[in-house]
Structure 1
């Protein structure tokens, strides 16, 4: 038998069934809900993760977090402590005043220099200095021993970071610290891989502007380019943005200190810091949105193939498209297959050998949850190996019957 602490297990009590069309427009399924941190995992899973619905979680999310006790003083960033402890690190900083293509221009600077700038910027009431925002700092990767937060149980089933944290060939993950002064912001976007995201304010407050899947089409110009700032007056120009008046659903919310926000797959969003703010953010994928990730991967390959269609007769064109896909999307078909098989084999090993699957935050997967993961993974794997683009690639031709064998092993647990 698996011997685990029952309070640390995340489990699904009953089979999950679809409660709504997560892409439905202009319905109450597109409204941001508020829930408390005492909601049962099974209820949160069905209502928000499987239903792809946004929500704010209030309550004891940051209770006992090291970042709250050590990084914050009198409700504001504890600049001297953070600088003394981590000041020698190079961190990625975006200039909120400088647009670079459709994002903000970034550079790496020393954290101690950024913290000095931040205090100076705040003391001068944001007048004559550029607005700089520390974003996407892989803090947990840089300081794995620090344990500055515990992943909330609702977000613990995280295939993406489970996979990248286990990889030795590259040093990467999708777990971040954000720090920025009042007025720093992030332009309109949807998250990498069409993933979920969660964010918790360690201190400060954020304003979020959310758009359900499909609404972003109304925020594109006549060339299909997404607007940089969803509040820009130029959206009213019908010649530039012919579909803006069709926009029928958006949500604006304020996230307070200590609250967690869940952003579902495909929801475009824009974010502002209303005060000096520090937050913990993850991008993540699991059994609820793995099909969405697969669909997004296919769509991005289609866009790549269309872009380089005039080179279609070149030798190795399919493989070349995969290289471009990797650069643009962050993953190609071979990497996606590696991702699926890693998750599948890890869960099969757990069932075969009664081995624990320990997740971020010291949470453990229950058996029903493991079976759900395998069922969702199997569905994607079946469509993946039947896909004509998959079958044209050299890596797949050399797999023999490995994918079919994995599917067969999964099906053994559903007889």
Structure 2
């Protein structure tokens, strides 16, 4: 069974072999929504934090959209600006490493990001590193600034419904993330 690494499926041992040798600006990022089906023990190795246990999507059973992922990435890998799908909120627990997060509230589109009028498609024509080099500094002069933080191993971050967010691994990192829908939004 392979894991999803970008657009390709790869055995975990092959991903780790790649990660030992990779020296590129945009390293591949393992982001797999079926990890618990592929390795059931992994799905049982954690509990959903108490604050995030109400999940209205759970009533859908097997029809539920993808909602949890294991994420493994090298320093410099990550996820460019997006809003999580299906009006969900999310939590992300860092198991190993550290991640820098930059979050913008729903009414504040990050510079360099171009959503379609309905918000269904998002174009961010630059890499995460290019975004930090070309746009990040401009946000420092804004009256309404983004929220930024670094999450380290053992820490959990909450991403509210509708918030733009970018994540970059500051070092080789492993995390579990899960989307959910609650009455409190």
Question: Considering the TM-score relative to the shorter chain, is it more than 0.5?
Answer: yes
TM-score class, shorter:
0.7 to 0.9
Change in Cα spacing, 1:222 to 1:136, as seen in structure 2 (3 Å) is: closer
Q: Measure the CA separation in 2 of the matches of 1:273 and 1:181.
A: 7
What corresponds to 1:91 in structure 2?
Answer: 3
What corresponds to 2:173 in structure 1?
Answer: 277
What corresponds to 1:186 in structure 2?
Answer: 79
Residue 8 (structure 2) aligned to one of 100, 107, 110:
107
Residue 152 (structure 1) aligned to one of 36, 49, 57:
49
What corresponds to 1:11 in structure 2?
Answer: none
Change in Cα spacing, 1:269 to 1:221, as seen in structure 2 (3 Å) is: closer
Unaligned runs of 5+ in 1: 1-88, 95-105, 237-244, 290-415
Change in Cα spacing, 1:281 to 1:142, as seen in structure 2 (3 Å) is: same
Q: Is the 8 A contact 1:216 1:226 kept in 2?
A: no
Change in Cα spacing, 1:163 to 1:181, as seen in structure 2 (3 Å) is: same
Residue 268 (structure 1) aligned to one of 150, 164, 177:
164
RMSD: 2.9
What corresponds to 2:148 in structure 1?
Answer: 252
Alignment partner of 1:201 is 2:113: no
Q: Over alpha carbons, which structure has the higher Rg?
A: 1
- Which secondary structure does the structure 2 equivalent of 1:116 belong to? helix
Deviation at 1:219, TM superposition (A): 5.0
Deviation at 1:211, TM superposition (A): 0.4
Change in Cα spacing, 1:130 to 1:184, as seen in structure 2 (3 Å) is: closer
Q: Is the 8 A contact 1:92 1:136 kept in 2?
A: yes
Deviation at 1:216, TM superposition (A): 1.1
Q: Measure the CA separation in 2 of the matches of 1:114 and 1:136.
A: 12
The Cα offsets for residues 46-97 of structure 1, whole Å up to 9 and x where unpaired, read as xxxxxxxxxxxxxxxxxxxxxxxxxxxxxxxxxxxxxxxxxxx211112xxx
Change in Cα spacing, 1:130 to 1:272, as seen in structure 2 (3 Å) is: closer
Q: Measure the CA separation in 1 of the matches of 2:54 and 2:181.
A: 8
Deviation at 1:252, TM superposition (A): 1.5
Alignment partner of 1:118 is 2:30: no
Compare the two structures and name the one with the higher strand fraction.
2
Q: Measure the CA separation in 2 of the matches of 1:92 and 1:133.
A: 9
The answer to which structure, 1 or 2, has the higher relative contact order (CA under 8 A, 6+ apart) is: 2
Q: Is the 8 A contact 1:204 1:275 kept in 2?
A: yes
Residue 143 (structure 1) aligned to one of 31, 36, 39:
39
Unaligned runs of 5+ in 2: none
With structure 1 as the length reference, what TM-score do the two structures score?
0.38
What corresponds to 2:106 in structure 1?
Answer: 213
Q: Which residues in structure 2 correspond to 1:10-409 (within 5 Å)?
A: 89-94=1-6, 106-121=7-22, 126=23, 131-146=27-42, 147-160=44-57, 162-164=58-60, 166-167=61-62, 170=63, 172-216=65-109, 220-221=113-114, 226-229=123-126, 230-231=131-132, 233=134, 248-289=144-185
With structure 2 as the length reference, what TM-score do the two structures score?
0.80
